[in-house]
Structure 1
Amino acid sequence: MLLIGAALCIALVAMLSGSAHAGVAVEGRNLPMKFSWVACQPNCRGWISAVGIVTAESPRDFDEFARGRQLGGVTIVLDSSGGSVNDSIALGRRWRNLGVLTTVGASVQTNTVQGDPLNMAPVAYCESMCVFLLLSGKTRYVPETAHVRVHQIWMGDRANHARAATYSADDLTIVERDIGRLAKYTFDMGGAGDLLSLSLNVPPWEDLHELSRDELRLTNLVNTDVLDQPGNAALVELKHKPAQGRLVGSAVATETYPEPVKSIESAEVAARVGGVRAAPGQQ
């Protein structure tokens, strides 16, 4: 009965107000990552909503959010276009230490009455470095209607014009170093080398590669088919047409928190937060 109550608490989220909701969701995914606690009733523990791009401030923002909260084993719901490589690694290691459950979704309010509890819609996007945050969960679940997309890491200030840009030996050293760190993190989190292979085969001038259900299992990004742990949120699969005008993210190769060294984020990265670019043919 507890599981049924939790499932009913999160269910019936389809038929949202299409374009308005989609516009808000896209905007949120491309702003600096925001953490918020989502309560649900009556027999549901709630979850953390993590929406937006990982920046140099994100690990510290999460530490501040977590202060005074008992977050061991909590569910973290991701809706993100990616962000900084090393800051995502730092954040992911914090989450693994908490033994969290990770999934992809959007926290939405289906009623107009202020104060009504939010529900979890499994129609959301996890792109670029968000995929490696998803990997940090001890338990990892991806709904059928969620979209998980990968590509190469790149210098954030040159992601939009990667072919035309010039690169120094130092730039290449930074990218190769970050690939090595990402590889170690992937294996530490229990991911497969296939995840790195699929990601590193997609340059920034091509569309992101959306992982199929088979690839989600091959890469070990998914290690459960049912999100039904007692006391946590339970997702009900809802068929929903993906929003148009979707933005996709470009990961940023940076040297930032937790290493006590100077950040190398570029002016464009600072201005655009993660080097987010529009997919070809989209605005």
Structure 2
Amino acid sequence: MVVSKRPEAIAFTLLFVRRFMTIRLGFLASFCLIIVSFFLPLVAAIPTAAAAQAPEEWPMNFALVRSGNCKEICVQWISAEGKITADTPKRFKELLKSLKGQKLSVVFQSRGGDVDAALSVGRMIRAAGLETAVGRTQLNDCPMMVPRCAEKIVRDGWSEGEVRAGAAYCFSACPFVLAGGRVRAAATNAYIGLHQITNGPNRQDTGRRNLDEISTKADPALKRRLSIYLDEMGVSSDDVFAMMGLATPEGLYYVQSAEALKSGVITKVFSYADEPGDVVRGTGLKTATPSPVDSDSSLDLKKPDYMCHIVNQAYVNTRKTAIYRETVNFVEPSGLRLLVEGLRTASGAFEKWGSQSKWARGTAPHAVEGYPRFTSCTYVDGGEGPHFRAYWHNRYPSQTASADVWLTPDIQRLSKVVRRFPTDDIRYPSKTLLATMDYDVARAVAPSVEDLVQ
């Protein structure tokens, strides 16, 4: 055992020092004593460090986590990380009881574990009507190597942290518990891994299983239980078993987003920066108006605060929407005057400027990744939907405007944006623009050939 070597290691070190001290070199002896005094604690600590489990091997535990100021607006979720064990269903049942009917998304990161326990938790999630996602939780003030450290998990209360969909993982039995969600989501660069449930022989030359012998030592009872469960959850058991069969004997098959969507393992795809969880609006919302935009348009690009993350994500989601209609008008004393109307359809993008009577093919607008379109955001009210005041920025050409932004009721996309440009911005004769978005697919159809510019 490693522990039994500790006294020997210490004795050897002391013997080493004693041997050198017999040499009448005072400086060298003092130097050795300093070195020994530094390394003895490390020698004593080695067995403890070696015995510690990696965080991913800890039994799965659940934590209520939030990000942001929930008196105004924040994201809340149930963080579920660690190894699924026979005790996991009991822990989850206790958590559900403490929620008293509150519905929060369950965000998983796990290498798997007990299959029967995973099926039990998945059924509890479905019965409670909860959503699930693959995501990694980083609690505030936890070390980098242990981002969800136990000492920062608040018992019977809310822990503080952040959650990210990108680079999270869900392996082995974890996809089965993920399947319990009414809505199931993962990022394009998250990792969902399945492995074989049979013990067929390996091919010695490649290390891969002979696909003709994949069922030679299968567990029929387990396969039957999985098939029943997956069918209950609306997941294709045939697709899942086929993907399992593609795994190497000792490895995993990593499910691609298209495969996960087709099979029903997930029903929604996140971008890398998306935050799984539920947006909650509080009752103590601040109301404020940003200072007017300086006449020289020289505002610094401020770091987006938390509410700006919500607004910017809604902007990105809007630009990624496949079908919608956008109308931009000048706001003038006499009323609205059309600047441009845009269509994004299954047949491509179209635009119609000013008084033009026909549509022209155009380029669909897109969000610049990593560029904060809105900064200095303040929540105003929810009268016409979630309403924020902020600063709007454009990179090329460089522009800045004060803005009022309304989001859709689910806070996922833009509904309406009013931009007020400084008086020295000569690009627009009218300094106020109103953009409205219409997501009704019936009103976002491609124009006929007769209505297109030839």
Which category describes the TM-score, using the shorter chain as reference length?
A: 0.5 to 0.7
Alpha-carbon distance in structure 2 between the residues aligned to 1:195 and 1:72 = 31
Letter in 1 for 2:252: L
TM-score with structure 2 setting the length: 0.39
Residue 97 (structure 2) pairs with residue 54 (structure 1): no
Q: Give the alignment partner of residue 253 of structure 2, picking from 209, 218, 223.
A: 209
- The residue aligned with 1:222 is 266
- The residue aligned with 1:68 is 98
Q: Work out whether residues 55 and 83 of structure 1, in 8 Å CA contact, stay in contact via their aligned partners in 2.
A: yes
Larger displacement relative to structure 2 (43-52 or 208-217): 43-52
- The residue aligned with 1:144 is 188
Matches within 5 A, 1:18-33: 27-33=54-60
Alpha-carbon distance in structure 2 between the residues aligned to 1:109 and 1:35 = 13
Larger Rg: 2
- The residue aligned with 2:114 is 84
Cα displacement (A) at 1:136: 0.8
Letter in 1 for 2:241: L
If asked which structure has higher relative contact order (CA below 8 Å, sep 6+), I would say 1
- The residue aligned with 1:199 is 244
CA-to-partner distance for each residue in 1:124-149, whole Å, 9 max, x for gaps? 11001101111110011101221111
Deviation above 4 Å: which 4+ runs of structure 1? Answer: 110-116, 226-230, 236-239
Go from structure 1 to structure 2 and tell me whether the alpha carbon gap of 1:228 and 1:72 turns closer, same or farther (over 3 Å shift): closer
Question: What is the DSSP-based 3-state SS (H/G/I as helix, E as strand, rest coil) of the residue aligned with 2:225?
Answer: helix
Alpha-carbon distance in structure 1 between the residues aligned to 2:191 and 2:142 = 27
Alpha-carbon distance in structure 2 between the residues aligned to 1:50 and 1:111 = 19
Letter in 1 for 2:247: V
Matches within 5 A, 1:109-258: 109=139, 117-122=160-165, 123-153=167-197, 175-192=219-236, 193-202=238-247, 205-225=249-269, 230-231=279-280
Q: Work out whether residues 85 and 153 of structure 1, in 8 Å CA contact, stay in contact via their aligned partners in 2.
A: no
- The residue aligned with 1:36 is 63
Go from structure 1 to structure 2 and tell me whether the alpha carbon gap of 1:94 and 1:112 turns closer, same or farther (over 3 Å shift): closer
Q: Work out whether residues 140 and 223 of structure 1, in 8 Å CA contact, stay in contact via their aligned partners in 2.
A: yes
Q: Work out whether residues 77 and 106 of structure 1, in 8 Å CA contact, stay in contact via their aligned partners in 2.
A: yes
Go from structure 1 to structure 2 and tell me whether the alpha carbon gap of 1:44 and 1:71 turns closer, same or farther (over 3 Å shift): farther
User: Where do 5+ consecutive residues of structure 1 fail to align?
Assistant: 1-25, 156-162, 164-171, 240-283
Letter in 2 for 1:118: G
Letter in 2 for 1:28: P
Alpha-carbon distance in structure 1 between the residues aligned to 2:239 and 2:139 = 37
Letter in 2 for 1:97: A
Cα root mean square deviation, aligned: 3.5
Cα displacement (A) at 1:78: 0.5
Cα displacement (A) at 1:75: 0.5
Go from structure 1 to structure 2 and tell me whether the alpha carbon gap of 1:37 and 1:112 turns closer, same or farther (over 3 Å shift): closer
Q: Count residues with an aligned counterpart.
A: 199
- The residue aligned with 1:246 is none
Question: What is the DSSP-based 3-state SS (H/G/I as helix, E as strand, rest coil) of the residue aligned with 1:39?
Answer: strand
Cα displacement (A) at 1:51: 0.5
Identity of aligned residues (%): 26
Go from structure 1 to structure 2 and tell me whether the alpha carbon gap of 1:51 and 1:154 turns closer, same or farther (over 3 Å shift): farther
Q: Work out whether residues 136 and 168 of structure 2, in 8 Å CA contact, stay in contact via their aligned partners in 1.
A: yes
CA-to-partner distance for each residue in 1:205-239, whole Å, 9 max, x for gaps? 342010111111121122123568653998x7999
Cα displacement (A) at 1:71: 4.8
Alpha-carbon distance in structure 2 between the residues aligned to 1:229 and 1:118 = 14
User: Where do 5+ consecutive residues of structure 2 fail to align?
Assistant: 1-52, 144-150, 153-158, 200-208, 210-216, 271-275, 282-308, 317-368, 371-454
Q: Work out whether residues 72 and 99 of structure 1, in 8 Å CA contact, stay in contact via their aligned partners in 2.
A: no
Alpha-carbon distance in structure 2 between the residues aligned to 1:30 and 1:52 = 6
Larger displacement relative to structure 2 (224-233 or 81-90): 224-233
Cα displacement (A) at 1:45: 4.8
Q: Work out whether residues 140 and 221 of structure 1, in 8 Å CA contact, stay in contact via their aligned partners in 2.
A: yes
- The residue aligned with 1:245 is none
Q: Work out whether residues 104 and 278 of structure 2, in 8 Å CA contact, stay in contact via their aligned partners in 1.
A: no
